[in-house]
Amino acid sequence: MSKHINQVELRFPDNREALIREAVKHDESCVSVGGLAESLGMLETPPVQVAAPAIGAKAFAKLVEFWRRQKQLSVEELAARTGLSEAEVLEAEEGDAVPEPRVLHALSTVLKVSYEKLLHLTGHVTDRDQSIESAAVRFAARSESMERLNRQEEQALHEFIRALAD
């Protein structure tokens, strides 16, 4: 049975010196969060346009598909590895819609590429990284879907993953 938020006691260690040292290490500017403001209707920030650059979304779709084929995994197997549903993996490979950050995060972990760079690539982060953009164009411009990756596709995949590494 779940516990009630106002009926549990917090436990602190006897010695919190390391935590205090870490806490006072930096001066702070804003630390505020906006959940309550949202529920009270106080936010006035204009909605951020998550306008996926078409080329970035396509490049991401190809990245996922090529990587899966290179590893000779089925959609079902990739879904199991990432914790995503098969439909989510298929949607990510189609590239018609912008994948949610949650999907990008799950795939970045398995593909071992930078989650931050995937956010840039798919337009979630607006200050676009030019190097990622040009790598995406080069990658998306190559190859057709085939059962096995040809040598050029292998090379393109390798280069693109390197560009997206941390």
Which residues of the chain form contacts with another protein (CB under 8 A)? 2-12, 16, 18-48, 50, 83, 101-102, 104-106, 115-116, 119, 124-125
Q: How far is the CB of 81 from another protein (least distance, A)?
A: 11
Backbone angles phi, psi at 53, to 5 degrees: -65, 130
Q: What is the dihedral of CA 57, 62, 67, 70, to 10 degrees?
A: 180
Q: How far is the CB of 140 from another protein (least distance, A)?
A: 21
Helix H or strand E segment including 53 = none
Residues 6+ apart with CB under 8 A from 58: 95, 140
Closest to another protein by CB, 20 vs 141, is 20
Closest to another protein by CB, 46 vs 148, is 46
Question: How many other C-beta atoms are found inside a 10 Å radius of the C-beta of residue 120?
Answer: 22
Q: How far is the CB of 61 from another protein (least distance, A)?
A: 18
Closest to another protein by CB, 52 vs 156, is 52
